[in-house]
Structure 1
Amino acid sequence: MSWFGWFHKQKPGLDAAQQQRLEQLPTPGALGDGSLRSQRWVVVDLETSGLNLNRDQVLSIGAVVIEDGAVDFSQLFERTLQRTDTKLSPSVLIHGLGPSAIAAGSDPAEALLDFMAFVGDSPLLAFHAPFDQHMLGRALKDSLGYRLAHPFLDVADLAPLLCPDATLREAGLDDWLNHFQLQVGERHHASADALVTAELMLILFSRARQQQIDTPHALQERLAQWKRRQQAPSF
């Protein structure tokens, strides 16, 4: 039984099989001192019903894996969650998630269990990660009673950290894709956005190694130092 098996009573709405799956999810660990290349990373993107952190809901999850220095196309994840009682904002239509697609989606508990089994104990990467981390964490708590504790690094911060000569400030994902002249076949779709974020991250991992940032722990530490400098008051 995992660390939270004794702590959480069965979540109302979970059947015995779902509860067993929940208790068998691996415990995430801290980022280690192995090589960046050997670490398995999960790049995730969410589509949500809106941008309100406390009211809106996760509608779809897309994720890809970076391992051995490349995107592993044998490890892809995509689920649409069934949200029959969710009011959809007009922006949702940009993602191709109309009411019929949402109504035909997977049971949220099953989809989230599938996703966390896919993640395993791997760290997560996302562009503008605080939003995805909050929304995913809330969905997991609401549907499963699960506390998200995985390391979660923000590609939007890693890019300017590792590319200080770029003249981009507060840049979006499209800005960085254009900067590196990455070809994008599709955007504003969870799995497609996760893939292009992973392609950007491969470039950033290469930049990290050039700067003698060779381990996941070192990358996390360098990012924390950079963020403290960014937040320090200027005189």
Structure 2
Amino acid sequence: MLKPALEVPDLDVAWRDVEYCVVDVETTGLDLRRDTLISFGSVLVKSGRVHVSSCESFEIKPSRPISIGAMTVHGLREQDLDDAPELGQVTDRIVAQLDGRVLVAHAAWVERAFLTRPLRAARRRWKPAVVDTAALLRATGLAPSGTGYEPDIEVSAKHLGLCVHTPHQALGDALTTGEVFLALTTKLEQQQPGLTAHRLVAISDEHTLT
């Protein structure tokens, strides 16, 4: 039996009047069908501000081996996660962060794909409104279009004069992404006074890699 679907907020309002959940995940690899989550980090954006007190972060016991490529990026080994909870044990914590909010992530196809599967296993329907900071970098002319590659979040943050928080750790990358999101959205708002959350999501869609 399906449980209630995760809600999407009303987007036909000023973008600052909507809540956003900025997410980053680490995984066993990038095979969207087989690899799984091993780390989740998120922070909420409310009223146009990052709320550090809302941070959520936890590691997850992998259900398959961690690839060498993934391990060299995030540094997490299987033995490091022996005492971590299994994915099914933390799904409610993920839902609590995402429900009723717009998903924000850098190269958001990764987070959306890896979060959809455990939510589906928990019988929670999820069709999120998404803002991709990589797409916003292209929309604002701060990253080139047509390259087939996503801009690096750390390089982008430094270019914007922002802090980089513990790279390649889920919570650190979520915090960096949240600050980049606010900088880019403020820039778009200057170009498009009255920017709504609906228009912000649309801009992201228009500049997302296909």
The TM-score bracket by the shorter chain reads 0.7 to 0.9
Amino acid at match of 2:90: A
Unaligned stretches of 5+ residues in structure 2 = none
Instruction: Name the larger-Rg structure.
Output: 1
Q: 1:122 aligns with which of 81, 92, 101?
A: 101
Please list the CA deviations of residues 112-165 of structure 1 after superposition, one character each: whole Å capped at 9, or x if unmatched: 1111112221110110111210111012223x132322212211111111x22x
For residues 221 and 107 of structure 1, do their structure 2 counterparts lie closer, same or farther at Cα, with a shift above 3 Å needed?
same
- Tell me, in whole angstroms, the C-alpha distance in 1 between the residues paired with 2:129 and 2:135: 15
Q: Does 1:200 align with 2:183?
A: no
- Tell me, in whole angstroms, the C-alpha distance in 2 between the residues paired with 1:56 and 1:223: 26
- Tell me, in whole angstroms, the C-alpha distance in 2 between the residues paired with 1:27 and 1:186: 30
Q: What does residue 87 of structure 1 align with?
A: 65
Is the Cα–Cα contact under 8 Å of residues 66 and 198 in structure 1 kept in the other structure? yes
- Tell me, in whole angstroms, the C-alpha distance in 1 between the residues paired with 2:79 and 2:55: 24
Q: What does residue 198 of structure 2 align with?
A: 217
| Aligned length in residues | 204
Give SS of 1:105's match.
coil
TM-score by length of 2: 0.87
Amino acid at match of 2:22: V
Q: Give the alignment's Cα RMSD to 1 decimal.
A: 2.2
Q: What does residue 114 of structure 2 align with?
A: 135
For residues 200 and 75 of structure 1, do their structure 2 counterparts lie closer, same or farther at Cα, with a shift above 3 Å needed?
same
Q: 1:108 aligns with which of 80, 87, 91?
A: 87
Q: Percent identity?
A: 25
Q: Does 1:158 align with 2:139?
A: no
- Tell me, in whole angstroms, the C-alpha distance in 1 between the residues paired with 2:37 and 2:101: 21
Give SS of 1:37's match.
helix
Q: What does residue 20 of structure 1 align with?
A: none
Q: Does 1:76 align with 2:55?
A: yes
TM-score by length of 1: 0.78
Instruction: List structure 1 segments (4+ residues) > 6 angstroms apart after TM superposition.
Output: none
- Tell me, in whole angstroms, the C-alpha distance in 2 between the residues paired with 1:129 and 1:104: 29
Q: What does residue 43 of structure 2 align with?
A: 64
Amino acid at match of 2:185: F
Shift of 1:188: 0.3
Amino acid at match of 1:154: D
Amino acid at match of 1:217: H
